[in-house]
Every structure is written in structure tokens, then in C-alpha cells.
Amino acid sequence: MSLLDNSIARLEFKNLICHKRIIEEGKDWHRAVFSDLELRLDRDSGFPCVFSKNAFRKQLLKFIFVENVEPGGIQHLAEGLREYVDISNHWEGTLDTAYPLLVAFSLDAINAETVEGYHAFGWEVLQKLHEVDSAPWPEDVANDPESQHWSMCFNGMPLFFNMSNPAHQVRQSRNLGKHFILVINPRERFDIFAGNNVGGRKVRSNIRSRIVRYDESPHASQLASYGAGGIEWWQYGLVEKNVERTDKCPFMFMKSRS
């Protein structure tokens, strides 16, 4: 057991759930989410994100299940996300001590008909999280989403949010089953494992080639490296077609967080 595993074992989590707890204690819809994930991350050899597949196989994933986005539901999500940031602050720098977070929303919370509808819901959730976040915004992260140096932050940590939903018919790599799911990782892990360097560019090239094969469509033209000219928020929710995007981010920064 690693030092991180020992540290995590000493912590008590009220909102973060591991594989074993879903199987032993999960509600029916929790198990349905897990079953959908198992089909893609374990049984589907072509699924393009090798990092997610590795995390699922080694049971590294952490889960939060959200029944609704009323104040109580957002509080539950925020408390779980704070627990996740606590884990991430103890990261040892290896893939086997990296714990991706999957946040699944019940069909009562969101059951949209379009990709755009799911994305609008996702940004509503991120806005509500920002509004209940008492931690100051990191000084080295831009607070304007149109900046190439912006990242969504929570509890003082820059995070990357992948919005996956069942309305995706073209970008199947962003479809993890019947429920809307946020796949969350600390921003720094992308910079370390897939950053703008020789090794990182090779990793990104490999994953994007796998995306093209899996989706049978060119990868999204908005995919880019952080701080290298790309717009981060466009990458949270990918549109189905490769068209020029001129839309503005719905996220509104609260000046009191600076």
C-alpha cells in the first residue's frame, strides 16, 4: 500500500464512493451507471481514453451520485468535491495514485434530448458550485473563460471537467451511458502526463487517433493544450460537428472570489 493509500485510509469520506461500495450498497441507478461504465471502460477495448480504462481496471475511480440540483443536491456535490480535492492534494505524482472523479446525475436531475441541453445543465452545475465555493480563486489562473489561461477552479484547485452525455451520437467517446456524467481531474495531471512537450504530445496524438477510430469522425477541432492558444471551456463540452465556435461561455466569475 502506498503512502497515499495509507493517507486516504485514515480519512473519512461521507460523499465519495468507491467501486466496492457501489456494488455492495449502491441504489439501482448507481449500479446502472456502474454497469454502463463497465461496458465502455472495461469490456470495450477500443474506448479511446487509456487513462480512464486503467483507472477503472485498477479500481482507482471515485464517484459522487447526485439526485438533484436543488440546494441540498449541490451541497452534497460540493462536499464530495472538497473531499476529492483533499485526496488530490496528497497526490504522489504517479498514475496509480491518481484518482479520477466521476459525478453522475440521476435521470430526475437531468434527462435532456440534445447535447446542447446537457451542456447547458453542466454549466448550470459548475456555476452553482462556484457560488458555494468559499475558497479564493488561485492567483495564477485567469478568471475569464475566454482566456487561454482559464480553468474551472474549486476549493483552490484548477480542475478539468469532461461533460459526457447520452445525446452524443457522433462523439461516442463522450457518451458513457444513459446518465449525464462529469469526469473530473486536477488540471495539473494533464500537464504532467499529456502536456505541451515531446512525451505529452505523443500521448495526446495517440489518444486523439483512438478517438478518430472510435467515433469514426475527426476529433473535435477545439482540442488543444492548456495555455497554448486553446480555449479550455470549449473542451469541457464538445459539440457534435467540427464547426467554428463563436459561442460565449455561460460561466460568470464572482468578483468576491478573487
Residue 193 pLDDT level (bands cut at 50, 70, 90): low
Distance of alpha carbon 43 from alpha carbon 92, whole angstroms: 29
Work out the percent of the chain whose per-residue pLDDT is above 90. Answer: 65
* pLDDT value at residue 10: 44
119 exposure class (CB count in 10 Å sphere: 0-12, 13-18, 19+):
buried
Instruction: State the DSSP code for 17.
Output: B
List, in sequence order, every beta strand (DSSP E) within 156-254.
157-164, 181-186
User: pLDDT for 24-44, tens place per residue?
Assistant: 999 999 999 999 999 999 999
Mean pLDDT of the chain: 88
- With CA atoms as reference, report the closest residue to 32 among 63, 5, 53: 63
Distance of alpha carbon 160 from alpha carbon 153, whole angstroms: 9
Distance of alpha carbon 165 from alpha carbon 87, whole angstroms: 26
In this structure, what C-alpha cell is assigned to residue 111? 434527462
* pLDDT value at residue 9: 45
Across residues 199-219, what is the average pLDDT?
Answer: 80
SS3 101: strand
